Structure 1
């Protein structure tokens, strides 16, 4: 087990870039959220590896193909690199909701893939996402669930979460606020 690797797992749509009801189907539709690319760069500079775990059911729904998804991700990585950041790997679920796969969040399959790829125990590894199903997947895989309020999340009044969220879910305004919290925590250890 690689216990020394510092890892953060991120959702994509609504966490790094703006979420779209119509799905993000092209590089032009991929719009980074304010401060998100700089936040990933700060994680990298603090020694963290960053990987994505994202549902991309638009593939299974036939709304875009692999070439389009690859183009979006190439654009994202290039834009991120210009901000001094990098993402080590992208794990995605290509299935439509009715396909009954084990990788579509809230199932923890993507996180289990990350665990296998890196040979790392995900217990306590931060998983940052914008939805209940992200938090459920994080919780099921033993990750520390962190909700950002930049996507399609339910209305969260103040910092009080609906009881449906896993216990211990932490709430942040956005990815930059999560990074402030994480780096503030790690530097004081």
Structure 2
């Protein structure tokens, strides 16, 4: 009787370890597969819903002007400028757009943060009001001696709204994740026309 009980406990322990191992392996494989799935290619002139924002790319170009919308470039430097229309979809004014776009590995260093400017008055990193489309410029300084690129690749990031976050129990936008890639043709200067939707 005692030997039979020991055998059952041993069998359950082995089954439990096997089940736990199977779940762990399945989880790792699922995470690995999700991480390596190709992102959707977004149309350059389309409007993109990122949760907090509706974003419509307008144009990208290289500028050698000393001041680009009030930002000061290094002497002899050039800037890669992306202009887009942004509409705040939330209920309050916000400037939570710093993680919205990630530059590709070329022609700028992805770790380099752009200046973000309201084009109509060159206000740096303003709060945008709900429901009001605004034209914004993301401005990256190109590395010294870098040739102007023909195209500019970006990853677009989406956040998810939670009524209560896990840490403070407050509402907000969390869990940034890429939703697609955007390849913008790069024009010769600020006079380049906007892309047509």
Higher strand share: 2
Question: What TM-score comes out, normalization by structure 2 length?
Answer: 0.25
Higher helix share: 1
Structure exhibiting the larger radius of gyration computed from Cα positions: 2
Question: What TM-score comes out, normalization by structure 1 length?
Answer: 0.26
